[in-house]
Every structure is written in C-alpha cells, then in structure tokens.
Amino acid sequence: MTAVRPETTARSASDTSFSFPTGFVWGAATAAYQVEGAAAEDGRTPSIWDTFSHTPGKVRNGDTGDIAADHFHLYRDDVALMKDLGLKAYRFSVSWSRVQPTGRGPAVERGLDFYRRLTDELLEAGITPVATLYHWDLPQELEDAGGWPQRDTADRFADYADIMGRALGDRVGVWTTLNEPWCSAFLGYGSGVHAPGRTDPAATLRAAHHLNLAHGRAVGVLRSVLPATAQTSITLNLHQVRPLTDKPEDVEAARRIDAVGNRIFTGPILDGAYPQDLIADTAHLVDWGQLVKDGDLAEISRPIDVLGVNYYAPTVVSHPTEGAGTTKNDGHGASDHSPWTGSDHVAFHLANDDLTAMNWAIDANGLHTLLTDLAKSHPGLPLMVTENGAAFDDYISPEGQVNDPQRIAYLHSHLEAVRRAVADGADVRGYFLWSLLDNFEWSYGYSKRFGAVYVDYSTQRRIPKASAHWYADVIRGNALPASGAQGRA
C-alpha cells in the first residue's frame, strides 16, 4: 500500500456523485487477542489480557479470548472472505507473546510462522497486509516486571520490533507501532477497566511516556531493517473534544481533556515536546523533568509516513455541575477510578441521544472535524482512518441473513464525513472498517458486535452482514451511493 497522495477535486463536497480519490485504500481491521484464539498453541504464553480476562469480575460473563473468532485456524477462510468483499488491505496486529513469549530473547519460529502464512495468504489474494506491532497485549512477564510504567519495557519493545521487521519485512510494507496508546496507559493503569487493571495515576503518566518512547525507538529500528519503501505509522484514538457550552469553565475543561487525551501523544510525536499545560496539570503526580530523559523527545519525534486515526464518537465535556457524574458518559467503561489523570473532576456528556449498542453517540461531523483540524495543525501529514465502526444488536433472521441497516447508515454518514474532509484539503489516504469480524470486545466480552461479518461463536460460522455487502459495493465503485440504502443481502 503506497502512500500516494489522493487526487483532489473541485466538485462540491455535497455532490453525491463524488468518488473517493484515486488510490484510496479500502480495508478492514482486527486485533490479535480479539480474533485469533489459540491462546496456548505453538509456544504462545499469557499476555496481560489473558490474565485479566481470566480474573473473575473483570470481563462481562467471564468471557475470554481463548478461542475468540478462531482466526488462527480459520485465517484462510477469512482471507477468502476478504477477497470476496473486495478489500484492498487488511490491518491485523501481532500477538507479542506468540512470537516472543517472555517479551525477551529470541523469537519462537512457530509463532512467526503463523504471521508468515497469514501475510502470504493475503498477498496471494491481492490484499495488502498492514501490521500493527502492539494492540494492548503485553506479555505477562513484562507486566510482572513493572509493565509500561517501567522504562525497560520500551527497550523490550524495540527488540520485538527488530524481530518482526526482520521476519516480515520482505512481505509487509506498512507498519504501525502502537494502536491507541491512550487506552493502554489510561484505561490499563488509570481506570483499570482494561488490562492489566491497575489504578495508579502516576503510573498512568509514566506508561504514556514509555509508550511514546517505545514508538520512537521502534520507528528507528524498523527504518534500519526494512526496505526504504516501507512505511511507518502510529494509530491514535484522538478525542474530538467539545465544550458543552462556550462558558470559560467548560472551555477550560475541554482544554484539560485535549491535553491528557490527545496532546500527550501528538505533542511529543508530531511536535517534539510535551505541552506545557499538560505538564502543569499533572505536575503534582509526576516529575516530568525526571521522567523525560535527554534524547527521549528526539527519539519519539522521529518522522512517520502516515498517522492512523481511530474515531467512534465525540467527547463532550464541562466543568462539573451539581449532581453530574464526572466520568458517567466518557464512553470508556465504569470504574471508581478516572482515566483522565490530573483532570478527573471534568464532567462528560453524550453529544446526542442517537446511540450505538456501546451507548456511544453517533456523530459523523466529529470525524470530519478531527481530520480537518489535523490537516490544519499539521499540514502535509498523511492521514489514514484506521478504525471506524459501530456495535449494534445484530441477529440472524429466519432466512439466515443478518440485516443491519443502522450500521449501514453509520458507515454511510462517516464515509461521507471522510469524503468531505478530503474535499476540504485533508490528506486522507484510506479507511479501515472496524471490524472485519465480530470478536472479543475487551471488557464487554462477546456481548458487543462490531463486525461487518457475523460470527456464530458456537460453530465459528461466518455470515457477511448486509453492511458487508454494502461496503463491498462502496469499494467496487470507490464511491458512496446517493443514500444509505442497503447493499445486497
């Protein structure tokens, strides 16, 4: 997948005949722990998500990723399904503990062989493999040694990146270091709703810095072992933050959440420095002068070829009012501990009452704003929508079909937002639907379905939903239909 700059057009963004740019990449995404299963095969050892999901009370219904969608065994069928849908690219993540079980030392070749087989199958099907090194599944032994709050974990990640780059560099030309490091740091070590389930505000900030450092070091390693044509990236779940009102106290709340939710990553990665207001907001929790060592920012800010952007819903905040639950509607799961380290007094609100099964507000304008704001703040930076999608209460009809008109409407509105962003000057080069398959949805277990393809977990049968056929039509025409009408059932 080359980062060809999409051609722009002078047509109005409201023109329903407007096609996406030539070379626009259409894909779908998954994550290793959510789909692979085979949790103890070929030398794989537990990750923090294995430990977390097997801890009573951490995941809904006691669900685990032990089997998940069994992608490990069914990857050939899944690649054939991708080909049938016309996907141009498949974004998958590598299970660190499958290829380097302790997070140290040499790789397990049997683990690497799975990813070799997967990428070969993709290439044979004409689908570009896009590899993510880390989607939240830290080897448990590294967590036992302190996890991401420890600086050594960044060194271990660089070694792991070297292993993967050498193993798959001849097959994979697009590499993402981290997926949503905000979730790894703030949900894993702050609110505790994600693995490893810790609730330590200071550890949260240390984890964020070491994730940034791990990214920078991995970029350096990948550039040293990959062909010159290979591309490096990071994927961030940037929060499209809005104040509830234009009152100064609400605007201040939005500033604080933007700092700890977005600029704690975009600052050092894209601009080479942590924002001063973030440092001031959190100075009572960590000594940033001690945490950030000489040379760290130069490593973290190594240039990337593309920025991955994940978007699901906007983040609406205010200064707390009497009776307001501060994190009630932040969309990241219930906890007595806030993930918003240093700003845990801020109140969160739903943008509207049009909700997905996750109780996330449906607001496609937020994606347009996010992309165009990035284009303005970092002109010339190529962007890729690396996750976007919605969970709804899908079911198999008596006719054996899965009709999901709500998802089709969601995708239509959000792809329209991407299209408008391109017309408005954002260099958006592709879109990856989340997710290809229904899967293990982290602390929600199997209770939420994001897939374009329905998975019957009792049989592992795959049934493309109506939205999958609709998406295939979009890919085929490289354009949106005039309305959100359903595709072939």
Q: Is the pLDDT of residue 116 over 80?
A: yes
Q: What is the pLDDT of residue 324?
A: 52
pLDDT score at 6: 37
Check whether 9 has a pLDDT greater than 70: no
Average pLDDT over residues 330-342: 94
Q: Residue 325: what pLDDT?
A: 53
User: How confident is the model over 97-104, as a mean pLDDT?
Assistant: 96
pLDDT at 3 over 60: no
Q: pLDDT-based confidence at 11, cuts 50/70/90?
A: very low
In the chain, the percentage of residues whose pLDDT exceeds 70 is 93
When mean pLDDT is compared across 174-183, 316-325, 478-487, the lowest value belongs to 478-487
- Is residue 255 within a helix (H) or strand (E), and if so which, with residue range? helix 248-258
Other CB atoms within 10 Å distance of the CB of residue 450: 25
Mean pLDDT of 115-119: 98
Residue-wise pLDDT tens digits, 284-327: 999 999 999 999 999 999 999 999 999 999 999 999 876 555 55
Contacts of 111 (CB under 8 A, 6+ apart): 42, 43, 44, 95, 98, 99, 100, 101
Contact (CB, 8 A) for 405 and 466: yes
Mean pLDDT score, 166-176: 98
pLDDT digits (tens, 9 = 90+) for 348-364: 999 999 999 999 999 99
Among 225-234, 331-340, 432-441, 463-472, which stretch is predicted with the lowest mean pLDDT? 331-340
For residues 379-407, give the mean pLDDT: 98
Asked whether residue 441 carries a pLDDT value surpassing 90, the answer given is yes
Residue 461 burial by Cβ neighbours in a 10 Å radius (0-12, 13-18, 19+): exposed
Confidence of residue 2 (pLDDT cuts 50, 70, 90): very low
Q: What is the pTM of this model?
A: 0.95
Q: What is the rounded CA–CA span in Å between residue 158 and residue 164?
A: 10
Instruction: Give yes or no for residue 133 having a pLDDT over 60.
Output: yes
State pLDDT tens for residues 242-263: 999 999 999 999 999 999 999 9
Q: Which of 47, 61, 52 is nearest to 93 (CA)?
A: 47
430 has pLDDT over 50: yes
Residue 261 burial (10 A CB sphere; 0-12, 13-18, 19+): buried
Do the bridges between strand 347-349 and strand 428-434 make them parallel or antiparallel, or are there none, so unpaired? unpaired
CA pair distance 344, 342, nearest whole angstrom: 6
Q: Name the DSSP class of 443.
A: G
Work out the burial of residue 401: count CB atoms within 10 Å of its CB; fewer than 13 is exposed, 13-18 middle, 19 or more buried.
middle
Structure-token match 């994190």, residue found: 327
* Residue 280: closest CA among 301, 308, 306, 252: 252
Q: How confident is the model at residue 17 (pLDDT cuts 50, 70, 90)?
A: very low
Q: Which positions are annotated as active-site residues?
A: 180, 387
